[in-house]
């Protein structure tokens, strides 16, 4: 043909994939697809020996734009690259891209079943065509008709090969409906449809909504769609209980992918508690979900790291004691670092627990009182201040950062000496009274000319930092020789913040 435009240049149908449009152009102009590639696209027959929807060269896009009159961007939207930023962060031009179903092309034979279709869509279309979304692995169900997507001919069980189709008058085909038939056995692809249940349909519609919006909210936080899908892949990998190694999601049939996706989506309900409950039933849950060398999106990593990995690493108090005792016997030092080297477990030389009992609090406060009784005036004031800090932290459930942020405006002055100071502030109003007494009697004596608004100050008149507060508690614990049975500052703070 010598025309600037081809005589027939059919419209790109909604959501159509490039290969489907090329086949329809060829048939509309009276060519078989393979002949059309040679005569009109100026390609040899090798064009159908590659995944043209995945690897669509710019030369082909420009030629199609010139010969059909369509905008190049509209033609590019028919390629799999258009899912970049939605289903995956980066499109891999030469190689496998996550979530794209592979065709497994060898010669002109498709060994894999990467082109899916909905039988009822093909049957209902005035002009049957293949959709771009049917090439995506997270598409398992037709959300319009509620049937499972097929990926092979129901008669000969071979993969779809629309480029093999031709308009053969004896079979009563025409250029408008030819894609509805198998390229090998010429039987109707729309002859068999498998319905799915309402839950499966809801799974697909929820996934479609994520892609359409480009984001999803999990636990009240917006997550980009491609990061959401990355997390889903990790969840599905961790839930896979097969013993024959990792199963590639894209290599499975739609019914199997649907089952795995449904199971993973179920873990997002009541996030993250259902996931954590599932982790308690799995052996080595952190290693199952987090694979070495793979990058996990933060929305999932943060939960697994905080609530699974750290919890998994915790040891009972008697286990910690046994490891430390053995380390001390072998090395002569009760060292957490040495214990980690010998045992491979994360232990601390002060054997921390995840709770602090009232008896332990009483013992620590009593030891501070005994030190106050014999201390110099300067040291006595510092110990009184620390005792107030520890009691406020315990009763108000405040960590070191919150204590450092307290100001004098939050406390009411009270010069009345309260016996609450000696009974660990257990009654209502005791905390307010001991803080008021501290503000009137201790703080002015520690820093007479203090201009800081901080409630707890040092001798220099500066507000105490969270590091200093934590260090003082640790020092008090060690001075009382309670570091082997009383929690460290980190565990103390964790308990207070809970």
Tell me the three-class secondary structure of the chain, residue by residue: CCCCCCCCCCCCCCCECHHHHHHHHHHHCCCCHHHHHHHCCCCCHHHHHCCCCCCCCHHHHHHHHHHHCCCHHHHHCCCHHHHECCCECCCCCCCCCCCECCCCEECCEECCCCCCECHHHHHHCCCCCCEHHHHECCCCEECCCCEECECCCCCCCCCCCHHHCCCCHHHCCCCCCHHHECCCCCCEHHHCCCECCHHHHHHHHHHHHHHHHCEEEECCEEEEHHHHHHHHHHHHHHHCCCCCCCCCHHHCCHHHHHHHHHHHHHCCCCCCHHHHHHHHCCCCHHHHHCCCCCCCCHHHHHHHHHHHHHHHHCCCHHHHHHHHHHHHHHHCCCCHHHHHHHHCCCCCCCCCCCCCCHHHHHHHHHHHHHHHHHCCHHHHHHHHHHHHHHHHHHHHCCCHHHHHHCEHHHCCCCCCCCHHHHCCCCCCCHHHHHHHHHHHHCHHHHCCCCCCCECCECCCCCECCHHHHHHHHHHHHHHCCCCCCCCCHHHHHHHHHC
Long-range (24+ apart) CB contacts under 8 A made by 74-77 are 74/12, 75/12, 75/18
Higher pLDDT among residues 271 and 430, named by residue: 271
What pLDDT, in 10s, does the model give residues 66-91? 999 999 999 999 999 999 999 999 99
Give residue 332's pLDDT: 77
What pLDDT, in 10s, does the model give residues 93-111? 888 899 999 998 887 788 8
Give residue 366's pLDDT: 87
Q: Mean pLDDT over residues 6-18, rounded?
A: 93
Q: Match 């690259």 to its residue by tokens.
A: 81
pLDDT score of 495 more than 50: no
Distance CA 162, CA 165 (A): 5
Report the Cα 12 to chain-centroid distance in Å: 36
Distance CA 205, CA 442 (A): 65
Give residue 353's pLDDT: 46
Which is nearest to 178 in space by CA: 343, 402, 18, 28? 28
pLDDT score of 477 more than 50: yes
Higher pLDDT among residues 464 and 493, named by residue: 464
What pLDDT, in 10s, does the model give residues 322-363? 887 888 788 877 777 777 667 656 665 444 444 567 777 788
Split at pLDDT 50, 70, 90, the class of 242 is low
Distance CA 64, CA 148 (A): 33
Confirm if 237 and 246 have CB atoms less than 8 A apart. Answer: yes
Upstream peptide bond of 272 is cis (omega within 30 degrees of 0): yes
Which is nearest to 175 in space by CA: 41, 35, 31? 31
Give residue 176's pLDDT: 67
pLDDT score of 391 more than 70: yes
Can you say whether residue 44 is alpha, beta or left, with left for phi > 0 and alpha for psi between -120 and 50 degrees?
Answer: beta
Give residue 436's pLDDT: 86
User: Considering the chain, what is the average pLDDT of its residues?
Assistant: 83
pLDDT score of 285 more than 50: yes
**pTM strictly above 0.75:** no
Give residue 425's pLDDT: 67
Tell me the two tokens of residue 142: 């037709």
Give residue 341's pLDDT: 67
Q: Mean pLDDT over residues 398-404, rounded?
A: 82
Confirm if 363 and 482 have CB atoms less than 8 A apart. Answer: yes
Q: What angle do CA 399, 401, 402 make, to 5 degrees?
A: 70
pLDDT score of 394 more than 90: no
β partners of residue 40: none
Which is nearest to 349 in space by CA: 362, 368, 331? 331
| CB atoms closer than 10 angstroms to residue 330 | 11
Give residue 171's pLDDT: 45
Confirm if 166 and 224 have CB atoms less than 8 A apart. Answer: no
Give helix 377-396 / helix 489-497 axis angle, nearest 10°: 40
Give residue 225's pLDDT: 96
Distance CA 107, CA 487 (A): 68
Distance CA 206, CA 216 (A): 10
Which is nearest to 89 in space by CA: 224, 232, 236? 224
pLDDT score of 231 more than 90: yes
Confirm if 408 and 455 have CB atoms less than 8 A apart. Answer: yes
Split at pLDDT 50, 70, 90, the class of 43 is low
Give residue 485's pLDDT: 54
Q: Mean pLDDT over residues 133-159, rounded?
A: 96
Q: Mean pLDDT over residues 289-313, rounded?
A: 80
Split at pLDDT 50, 70, 90, the class of 493 is very low
Q: Match 């109003």 to its residue by tokens.
A: 429
Give residue 126's pLDDT: 92
What pLDDT, in 10s, does the model give residues 413-451? 766 655 545 566 667 778 888 888 888 889 999 988 888
Which residues have a Cβ under 8 Å from the Cβ of 244 and sit 6 or more positions away?
none
Split at pLDDT 50, 70, 90, the class of 1 is very low
Highest-confidence range of 10-14, 280-284, 339-343, 461-465, by mean pLDDT?
Answer: 10-14
Give residue 349's pLDDT: 40
Mode of pairing for the β-strands spanning 215-218 and 221-224: antiparallel
Distance CA 199, CA 206 (A): 11
pLDDT score of 134 more than 80: yes
Distance CA 202, CA 215 (A): 17
Split at pLDDT 50, 70, 90, the class of 470 is confident
Q: Mean pLDDT over residues 186-207, rounded?
A: 94
Give residue 244's pLDDT: 45
Percent of the chain residues past pLDDT 90, beyond the cut: 40
Give residue 429's pLDDT: 77
Give helix 430-441 / helix 377-396 axis angle, nearest 10°: 150
């Amino acid at each position: 043909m010598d025309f600037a435009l081809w005589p027939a240049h059919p419209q790109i149908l909604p959501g159509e994939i490039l290969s489907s449009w090329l086949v329809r152009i060829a048939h509309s102009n009276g060519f078989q697809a393979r002949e059309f590639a040679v005569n009109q696209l100026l390609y040899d027959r090798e064009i159908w020996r590659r995944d043209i929807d995945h690897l669509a060269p710019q030369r082909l896009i420009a030629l199609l734009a010139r010969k059909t009159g369509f905008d190049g961007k509209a033609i590019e939207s028919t390629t799999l690259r258009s899912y970049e930023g939605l289903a995956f962060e980066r499109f891999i031009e030469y190689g496998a891209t996550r979530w794209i179903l592979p065709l497994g092309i060898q010669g002109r034979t498709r060994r894999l079943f990467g082109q899916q279709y909905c039988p009822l869509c093909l049957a209902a279309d005035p002009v049957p065509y293949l959709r771009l979304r049917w090439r995506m692995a997270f598409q398992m169900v037709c959300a319009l008709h509620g049937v499972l997507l097929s990926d092979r001919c129901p008669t000969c069980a071979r993969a779809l090969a629309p480029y093999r189709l031709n308009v053969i008058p004896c079979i009563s085909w025409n250029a408008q409906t030819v894609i509805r038939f198998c390229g090998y056995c010429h039987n109707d692809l729309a002859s068999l449809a498998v319905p799915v249940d309402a839950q499966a349909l809801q799974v697909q519609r929820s996934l479609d909504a994520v892609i359409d919006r480009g984001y999803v909210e999990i636990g009240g936080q917006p997550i980009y769609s491609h990061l959401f899908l990355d997390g889903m892949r990790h969840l599905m990998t961790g839930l896979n209980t097969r013993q024959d190694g990792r199963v590639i999601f894209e290599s499975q049939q739609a019914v199997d992918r649907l089952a795995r996706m449904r199971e993973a989506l179920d873990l997002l309900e009541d996030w993250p508690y259902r996931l954590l409950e599932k982790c308690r039933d799995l052996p080595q849950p952190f290693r199952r979900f987090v694979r070495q060398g793979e990058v996990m999106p933060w929305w999932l990593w943060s939960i697994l790291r905080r609530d699974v990995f750290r919890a998994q690493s915790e040891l009972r108090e008697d286990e910690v004691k046994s490891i430390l005792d053995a380390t001390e016997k072998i090395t002569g030092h009760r060292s957490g670092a040495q214990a980690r080297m010998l045992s491979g477990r994360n232990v601390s030389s002060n054997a921390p627990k995840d709770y602090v009992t009232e008896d332990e609090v009483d013992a620590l406060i009593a030891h501070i009182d005994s030190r106050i009784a014999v201390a110099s005036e300067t040291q006595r004031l510092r110990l009184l201040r620390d005792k107030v800090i520890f009691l406020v932290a315990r009763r108000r459930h405040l960590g070191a950062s919150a204590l450092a942020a307290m100001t004098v405006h939050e406390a009411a002055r009270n010069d009345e000496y309260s016996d609450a100071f000696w009974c660990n502030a257990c009654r209502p109003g005791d905390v307010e009274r001991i803080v008021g007494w501290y503000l009137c009697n201790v703080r002015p004596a520690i820093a007479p000319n203090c201009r800081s608004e901080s409630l707890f100050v040092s001798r220099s008149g500066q507000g105490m930092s969270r590091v200093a507060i934590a260090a003082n508690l640790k020092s008090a614990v060690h001075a009382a020789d309670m570091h082997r049975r009383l929690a460290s500052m980190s565990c103390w703070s964790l308990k207070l913040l809970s």
